[in-house]
Amino acid sequence: MDNKIAALKDKIKEAGLGGGPARIESQHQKGKLTARERLHFLLDEGSFEEIGMLVTHRSTDFGMEAEKYPGDGVVTGYGNINGRLVYVFSQDFTVFGGSLSETHAEKICKIMELALQNGAPLIGLNDSGGARIQEGVVSLGGYADIFYRNVQASGVIPQLSAIMGPCAGGAVYSPAITDFILMVEHTSYMFVTGPSVVKTVTHEEVSSEELGGAYTHATKSGVTHFACANELEAINHLKRLLSYMPQNCEEVPSPLAYSQNQDEGRPLLNQIIPENANQPYDVRSVIEQLADQDSFLEVHKDFAENIVIGFSRLAGRSIGIIANQPAYLAGVLDNNASVKAARFVRFCDCFNIPLLVLEDVPGFLPGTDQEWNAIITNGAKLLYAFSEATVPRITVIIRKAYGGAYDVMNSKHIGADMNYAWPTAEIAVMGARGAAEIIFKKEISSAADPQQKLLEKEQMYAGIFANPYRAAERGFVDEVIEPAVTRIKLIKAFKMLENKVVNNPRKKHGNIPL
Ligand code: HXC
């Protein structure tokens, strides 16, 4: 018996070493942690239970039968994050560069199925050279098996991907289907085809970092939601991100402790909007006043900065915030902002996270670039996402709510539950000057002093529409409120909406304008 136990211990020890000490050293030299070290930092101490530690590949081509490593390049199992069950896989670059073999894929699929059946989040730590080249089509099949399960799990359990090394070729599509991607600066990259293929096909010279590094995807493509300075920052970000989410679509996020009867007045909000309606301000300063202290976790911070999105807490409860950002492009809605916000709205709706919209939007961005890149379709995505969302939804119109953007930004008409406006709100088809130029065109051009006439007409139009009261008279706005009381109003309203039940018409699935 002792011999057998000793043999088992030897096997466990061997598996723990992955591709061996030299390759572990090489991994460290690159500034990267190993697959197991990452799990050590991610999961509560002593909570990790490994599944499939002794799995090896079945490949016999290219002399592969002589080179086997227990675990086959991926560590899989389950554990806890702050006491909550999660399923994890962590690719081991020290074994065949973390490449995906048939058995490597089977291990990941097993974890995915357990996560789905047991209703707990799935976290993937990706560090892989892609398909196991020695295995050919078997490896490609393994990828597709994973993609299929990603899709089955979408909207049922949260799926988070951290990219901590290479992630290239078709391998990118599993993270892309998951709900959130985090990348590590300088040590991770994602692309469908790498620099050498790019050079051959398009003659562009580009480095891996420039083509698909964390900064590129956080700012240019929006593929990643977070760019983290190092692996530990990424791991801590993963944990924080998860804290806003429930285990699955049947649950609500766990609230944090919150004591009633605090002073919820926020007098600073009465001063936050500049006197001049065209002057910018940072909407994050509004969020800071409204949300629980230090609770805002911004998503996609450096992409489509004209809209700010992120998770926050209000009286201890998770909410998703979507806010136009007047400090960037005047907060206009464009292609990227529409898609960014739409996907976030849909995530929150999947997982019972109520939505708060802070609106200050001059409209959709005009121009050929926007039209040719389908602002019609992309704007419709946001409209669709809000319209189908059944979670509690509240809008606060802070300042501008112009044109189609008024409708799109969670208006009463598309199903918002409560719509507040500050006295600074301007709810109209367009800005007063543009409106005056169109409807009083003849009168202005024939006036002795056209500029003076334009000003007169602009002021007249503004007097009628540059306020929240026309909308309030119609009930499109439920209440015009002093900014200072917004937080308490929101706390009460979200509490009132806690048991909201809305069922969209029965259907197979909708057809969002993709
Ligand atoms: C098998 C692989 C491998 C792979 C790396 N290795 N990638 N083994 N299949 N795909 C092995 C190497 O042989 C090496 O083994 C070890 O991993 C580390 O690799 P290095 O090249 O030494 O590391 P590094 O210099 O850091 O370069 C990492 C790398 C490079 C950029 C990822 O290895 C690389 O370009 N690999 C090939 C990438 C690729 O073309 N993959 C297929 C993409 S197509 P030893 O024994 O020396 O430690 C694809 C299709 C998927 O993935 C489609 C799904 C639908």
Shared domain check, 314 and 203: no
Region 220-224: what's the mean pLDDT? 97
Total of domains in the chain? 3
115, part of any domain = yes
506, part of any domain = no
Shared domain check, 67 and 156: yes
With 80 as the cut, is the pLDDT of residue 196 above it?
A: yes
What pTM, to 2 d.p., does this model score?
0.96
- Give 229-280 pLDDT, tens digit per residue: 999 999 999 999 999 999 999 999 999 998 877 889 999 999 999 988 889 9
pLDDT, residue 170, reads: 80
Shared domain check, 175 and 68: yes
CATH code for the domain in which residue 197 is found: 3.90.226.10
455, part of any domain = yes
- Contact by Cβ (8 Å): 289, 268: yes
Shared domain check, 217 and 174: yes
- Give 409-420 pLDDT, tens digit per residue: 999 999 999 999
106, part of any domain = yes
pLDDT, residue 161, reads: 98
Show which residues are catalytic. Answer: 169-170, 404-405
Shared domain check, 21 and 154: yes
| 122: enclosing H helix or E strand | strand 122-126
Region 166-177: what's the mean pLDDT? 93
Question: In 154-302, which ranges are E strands?
Answer: 159-163, 166-168, 180-184, 189-191, 226-228, 297-299
Say what percent of the chain tops pLDDT 90.
93
Shared domain check, 315 and 222: no
Region 67-82: what's the mean pLDDT? 97
- Vertex 177, ends 231 and 165: CA angle to 5°? 25
Shared domain check, 400 and 481: yes
CA–centroid distance, 146 to ligand 1, in Å, is: 19
- Give 429-476 pLDDT, tens digit per residue: 888 888 889 999 999 999 999 999 999 989 998 888 889 999 999 999
pLDDT, residue 463, reads: 87
Region 354-358: what's the mean pLDDT? 98
Query: What is the domain extent for residue 364?
Result: 267-430+467-496
Atom of ligand 1 nearest to the CA of 128: 32
d(CA 168, CA 30): 18
Residue in the structure block whose two tokens are 């675990």: 71
Count of CB atoms situated within 10 Å of the CB of 141:
14
253, part of any domain = no
Question: In 355-464, which ranges are E strands?
Answer: 355-361, 393-402, 418-421, 426-428
502, part of any domain = no
Region 323-334: what's the mean pLDDT? 97
- Do β-strands 393-402 and 159-163 pair in parallel, antiparallel, or remain unpaired? unpaired
Rg of the chain in Å (alpha carbons):
26
Of 298, 302, 301, 381, give the one whose Cα is nearest residue 335: 381
251, part of any domain = no
Shared domain check, 386 and 309: yes
Locate 444 and state its tokens. Answer: 């202005």
Residue in the structure block whose two tokens are 């189908």: 388
pLDDT, residue 175, reads: 98
d(CA 79, CA 65): 32
pLDDT, residue 220, reads: 97
Residues with CB under 6 A from ligand 1: 23, 96-97, 99, 129-134, 140, 143, 166, 168-171
Region 51-63: what's the mean pLDDT? 95
CA–centroid distance, 429 to ligand 1, in Å, is: 56
260, part of any domain = no
Shared domain check, 335 and 461: no
Dihedral sign for Cα 199, 202, 205, 211, please.
negative
Shared domain check, 395 and 347: yes
- Give 91-140 pLDDT, tens digit per residue: 999 999 999 999 999 999 999 999 999 999 999 999 999 999 999 999 99
**Protein residue closest via CA to atom 20 of ligand 1:** 97
CA–centroid distance, 321 to ligand 1, in Å, is: 40
CA–centroid distance, 129 to ligand 1, in Å, is: 4
Shared domain check, 277 and 424: yes
Shared domain check, 211 and 123: yes
**Protein residue closest via CA to atom 15 of ligand 1:** 96
pLDDT, residue 311, reads: 98
Mean per-residue pLDDT over the chain, rounded: 96
